[in-house]
Amino acid sequence: MSPLPHSVSRRAVLLGSGALFAWTQMPRLARAEGRDPRMLVIILRGALDGLGAVAPVGDTGWFALRGDRALMLDGATPALPLDSFFALNPAMPSLNRLYKAREAAIVHATATPYRERSHFDGQDVLESGLTRPGTTESGWLNRALLALESEGRVNPQGSRAIGVGAVMPLVVRGGAPVMSWVPQNLLPASADTQARLLDLYHHTDPKLAAALQARMQLAALGGAGGMDDPMAAGDSPAMPPLARVRAYFADAAGTAGRFLARADGPRVGALGFVGWDTHINEGAAVGQLANLLSALDGALAAVETSMGDAWRETVVAVVTEFGRTARINGTNGTDHGTGTVAFLAGGAVKGGRVIADWPGLKTAQLYEGRDLKPTTDLRAVLKGLLRDHLRVDDTALATSVFPDSADVAPIADLVA
Amino acid sequence: MSTSATAEALLALQRFGMGPRPGSIAAIASDPRGALLAELDNPPAAAASALPSSGKAVRTVADANARRQAKAIVATRAQEEAKKQRAADAPMMAEDAAPKTSEMGEKTAAEAVPDPGRAIYLEEAKLRTEAALHADIGFTERLVWFWSNHFCISALKIRSMSGAYEREAIRPNVLGRFSDLLLAAENHPAMLFYLDNLGSMGASSVAGINRNRGLNENLSREALELHTLGVQGGYTQDDVISFANALTGWTWVPPNSSPEHGGEFAFNPRMHQPGAQTVLGKRYEQDDVEQGRAVLRDLAIHPATATHLAAKLARHFIADAPPPTVVEAIAKAFRDSGGDLKETAKAMIAAADSWSLPPTKLKRPGEWVVAMVRSTGITKVDPGRYTGGVALLGEPLWSPPSPKGFPDDEASWIDGAGRRLDITNSFAEREADKVDPNEIIENVFASAVSAEVKQAVGQAESRQQALALLFMSAEFLRR
């Protein structure tokens, strides 16, 4: 089986962290209920402007805040009404369709517990699941998998891991065996060479042994890769034009969907998209942000399409490290902020609604007078999904998965 | 040559250099630490280069873009004429609103005027990589790579300047004062472009009022968080804003506006926020480009900067989790010397931990590729192949995923180690008839590899396989 375009990996490394990282066990409790749930986490690195993605058109302060750059129902590029208060960026017709079909929900004015404005610390908190940055080697998704009773590997012949990602994101690092995958497009070393190297590592370097072993079962899921030698062709980074970004998002997400859909494929996956740090000429309606959201919209559609029937049992959670300033900055962009949105999509999502305890947009209502104030702890959303979809138990959620989060109750009823 | 002398020489070459070459262990075994210090005192001269300056590079690309656009318009017009003719012949056909240039016109133009940016990037990559291959030890090159990653820009955003930026802002300053390096990096057009400062203007500046535009915080924040104090460095949101105000007006001469100076740094007083700024409790009264410079000079010698940089240096060169004592020793050298980077580098050599800690660092892909090639004695680079290879390994040259640069810890890279086998395998396939793995063990590593590696190489089914196993051994991957 080789459903994968070979060219993806070159773009993967150019655009960063697009590799799929996935877990190939079957959650026991959910299986006992006759379900076979799938979950995909997409991390938007760089901080998504939640207000530019899902505009509070019913808030009288909205136009005052952003003026001509406020997405409006009657603007030049009219926003898509979600309910009487919120409207979706028109670059996201697929998400809009899913929302109308009650297969997508939006959480607004949400944030992790991080309240500073460093991308890297913010991503640390988002991915580690801890309340503070920089103190862990594992991510919440990995620890949730550890807490999950497993019914064994989906494919006993396959290994826990099938390939190699360039840089593994923190959210999936940790003790639970996770495969990482970037499409193959080099002539691989022979099985014999790999076996000899593995033997050498077993005697000299256990960590390298584990890394190589993880990769050696490649054939189980990814199929044979291409045989071309990309080093001969050479490549260099060029400005990724819109079409390339769009194709990359769709390829990466679609490939993740194909893996997750397989009966013997992984059940939980994660991937990341970069590029959301829109300091200059944000272009929420037309421009940079609209283009990125359009690419993300295409990625969601690609997951839906590639998953086929398994889409019914799927939750895709799209999250980012924090939001951006409520106001436009001096260069038609937005600077680092706080509250933002999370997108939930999938046949298993109880959709068709925007979940928000709206904080308001008057200066006094903004966080530190500048950012959308977070009123929903993103951990409550993630805990709700992990509990009700994958069946991670409450105690684990409050202690090992999101430590010190006993006071953050999981949001119920996110999944159908 | 005693075993311990060999081991220390190898460690010097791996931990602080670009990896051993044939004969390099013997050359420094009598005094490995002295050899490193000697390189710092007499660093190899940068190779002469005919490559364009950053300004010239960006102008060249801008010129080509303009010529390509003109070609596209001409080609589109010709196409439209032909279409009109056809429409006249078949009047029932509806006429679409014509775009300014058609897809076909753009394709014709792209073929007529290729992008010079790629050629410049590849030549820069070749120059840099060959410097690493030619160096006797390569400590200075390692410092160039380190500081280039610390002050990273991205070729994804400004490819034409990416190599020139390193040559102009980083390379001349890695053994000088940190304040000079910091100023050179922050006022380089590539950095101002990368971190969005070109259009940042004071809200009360002449240009800010006339154009109703204002501040962009990006450069200010990343300079504080990543380049100097560190995220724990004790600055506030107000400091970020004040420093961003101090940096307003730091821009460039637009590439298309001047055939002589386009793309060069310029201070535009009309964009500069008037008045004093207070950063970290200190008032800066200057009302011009000196205001930002003064803030940077103070940040350069701030104690938090010393600690932040020392920890990063120790993490890169010595261990993922370096002992606090070695970090403090490096920070002290930095503070005591007023930010002298040569003295700071010497402190790493002087630290006992540098010589006693086991080689647990996983080399980043670029380092590892260079070490592999050095061991074969090859000194010429095919830049397309090299940049393609490191990109596949997750470290595309001058294109890190964020302003933080490429990560420096084992956890980030170890899962990519398997992919290195594919790179090694194709390299070994090409070189197997020219390179003897046993000679690398004896002449390059002075036999200082484990018995297991010797055995694996000795029992390999082919020379290609032996080379692949050797290059993938912990001796090559770690330092």
Show Cβ contacts of residue A17 under 8 Å, excluding neighbours closer than 6 positions: A43, A45, A166, A167, A169, A271, A272, A273, A274, B401
Q: What is the pLDDT of residue A89?
A: 98
In this complex, which of B218, B383, B416 lies closest to A279 when CB atoms are compared? B218
A240 touches chain B (CB under 8 A): yes
> What integer is the mean pLDDT of A210-218?
70
B417-431 and B365-376 helices, crossing angle to 10°: 20
> What integer is the mean pLDDT of A206-228?
57
Find residue A193's DSSP bridge partners: none
Q: What is the pLDDT of residue A153?
A: 52
In this complex, which of B154, B200, B477 lies closest to A330 when CB atoms are compared? B200
Substitution target in A21, A193, A242 with the highest count of B β-carbons within 10 Å is A193
Paired sense of beta strands A353-355 and A104-111, if any = parallel
Contact: A201, B392; criterion CB under 8 Å: no
A116 touches chain B (CB under 8 A): yes
Nearest C-alpha in B relative to A240: B156
Greater confidence, A215 or A388?
Answer: A388
Nearest C-alpha in A relative to B430: A232
Contact: B401, A45; criterion CB under 8 Å: yes
Q: What are the chain B neighbours of A121 within 8 Å (beta carbons)? A: 231
Contact A360, A59 (CB under 8 A): yes
Q: What is the pLDDT of residue A241?
A: 54
Neighbours of A68 (CB within 10 A): 10
Contact B334, B346 (CB under 8 A): no
**pLDDT tens digit string along B183-205?**
999 999 999 999 999 999 999 99
Lowest mean pLDDT among A164-168, A232-236, B210-214, B408-412: A232-236
Question: Given a cut of 80, is residue A169 above it in pLDDT?
Answer: no
Coil vs helix vs strand at A315: strand
Of the pLDDT bands very low, low, confident and very high (cuts 50, 70, 90), residue A8 is very low
Of the pLDDT bands very low, low, confident and very high (cuts 50, 70, 90), residue A156 is very low
Highest mean pLDDT (candidates A6-15, B237-246, B454-463): B237-246
Q: What is the pLDDT of residue B434?
A: 85
Question: Given a cut of 70, is residue A219 above it in pLDDT?
Answer: no
**pLDDT tens digit string along B359-413?**
999 999 999 999 999 999 999 999 998 998 898 888 999 999 899 999 999 988 9
Question: Given a cut of 50, is residue B280 above it in pLDDT?
Answer: yes
- Distance from C-alpha of B185 to C-alpha of B175, rounded to nearest angstrom: 14
How distant, in Å, are the alpha carbons of A51, B198, B299 from that of B179? 39, 22, 8
The number of angstroms, rounded, from the C-alpha of A84 to the middle of its chain's C-alpha atoms is 28
Question: Given a cut of 50, is residue B262 above it in pLDDT?
Answer: yes
Spatial CA neighbour of A19 closest among A323, A390, A386, A274 = A274
Nearest C-alpha in B relative to A188: B422
Of the pLDDT bands very low, low, confident and very high (cuts 50, 70, 90), residue A220 is very low
- State phi, psi for A15 to the nearest 5 degrees: -95, -10
Q: What is the pLDDT of residue B405?
A: 95
Q: What are the chain A neighbours of B157 within 8 Å (beta carbons)? A: 239
Question: Given a cut of 90, is residue A33 above it in pLDDT?
Answer: no
> What integer is the mean pLDDT of A14-28?
59
Q: What is the pLDDT of residue A188?
A: 56
Of the pLDDT bands very low, low, confident and very high (cuts 50, 70, 90), residue B433 is confident
Contact A167, B404 (CB under 8 A): no
> What integer is the mean pLDDT of A204-227?
61
Contact B379, B130 (CB under 8 A): yes
**pLDDT tens digit string along B216-226?**
999 999 999 99
Of the pLDDT bands very low, low, confident and very high (cuts 50, 70, 90), residue A313 is very high
Q: What is the pLDDT of residue A181?
A: 65
Contact: A279, B225; criterion CB under 8 Å: no
Question: Given a cut of 50, is residue B455 above it in pLDDT?
Answer: yes
Show Cβ contacts of residue B248 under 8 Å, excluding neighbours closer than 6 positions: B200, B201, B202, B205, B208, B215, B271, B272, B273
Give B38 to chain A, closest Cα distance, Å: 34
Tokens representing B468 are: 């692949």
In this complex, which of A190, A233, A329 lies closest to B214 when CB atoms are compared? A329
Question: Given a cut of 60, is residue B151 above it in pLDDT?
Answer: yes
- The tally of CA atoms less than 13 A away on the side-chain side of residue B29 is 18
Contact: A205, B213; criterion CB under 8 Å: no
- The tally of CA atoms less than 13 A away on the side-chain side of residue A185 is 24
Q: What is the pLDDT of residue A216?
A: 66
Q: What are the chain B neighbours of A181 within 8 Å (beta carbons)? A: none
Q: What are the chain A neighbours of B394 within 8 Å (beta carbons)? A: 13, 165-167
Greater confidence, A290 or B80?
Answer: A290
A194 touches chain B (CB under 8 A): yes
**Interface TM-score (ipTM) > 0.90:** no
Global pTM value: 0.78
- Distance from C-alpha of A142 to C-alpha of A179, rounded to nearest angstrom: 11
Of the pLDDT bands very low, low, confident and very high (cuts 50, 70, 90), residue A164 is very low
Question: Given a cut of 90, is residue B315 above it in pLDDT?
Answer: yes
**pLDDT tens digit string along A235-248?**
323 334 577 678 77
Paired sense of beta strands A87-88 and A25-27, if any = unpaired
Q: What is the pLDDT of residue B16?
A: 98
- Distance from C-alpha of A354 to C-alpha of A89, rounded to nearest angstrom: 14
Find residue B436's DSSP bridge partners: none
Q: What are the chain A neighbours of B472 within 8 Å (beta carbons)? A: 197
> What integer is the mean pLDDT of A385-406?
95
Q: What is the pLDDT of residue A3?
A: 27
Q: What are the chain A neighbours of B159 within 8 Å (beta carbons)? A: 236-239
Lowest mean pLDDT among A213-217, A265-269, B340-344: A213-217
Q: What are the chain B neighbours of A168 within 8 Å (beta carbons)? A: 411-412, 415
Of the pLDDT bands very low, low, confident and very high (cuts 50, 70, 90), residue A152 is low
Give A92 to chain B, closest Cα distance, Å: 25
DSSP tag of B150: H
- Distance from C-alpha of B458 to C-alpha of B462, rounded to nearest angstrom: 10
Q: What are the chain A neighbours of B411 within 8 Å (beta carbons)? A: 137, 168, 173
Transcribe A249-303 into DSSP letters: HHHHHHHHHHHHHSTTS-SEEEEEEE-----S---SSSSHHHHHHHHHHHHHHHH
Contact: B472, A10; criterion CB under 8 Å: no
CB-count exposure of residue A364 (10 Å: 0-12, 13-18, 19+): exposed
Helical ranges in B90-196 per DSSP H? 103-112, 116-134, 139-150, 155-165, 178-186, 189-194
Q: Which domains does chain A have, with CATH numbers?
A: 8-401 (3.40.720)
Give B155 to chain A, closest Cα distance, Å: 7
Q: What is the pLDDT of residue A237?
A: 33
Q: What is the pLDDT of residue B445?
A: 95
Mean of per-residue pLDDT scores for chain A: 82
Question: Given a cut of 60, is residue B441 above it in pLDDT?
Answer: yes
A182 touches chain B (CB under 8 A): yes
> What integer is the mean pLDDT of B462-473?
92
Q: What are the chain A neighbours of B401 within 8 Å (beta carbons)? A: 16-17, 45, 167, 274
Percent of chain B with pLDDT over 90: 78
Of the pLDDT bands very low, low, confident and very high (cuts 50, 70, 90), residue A151 is low
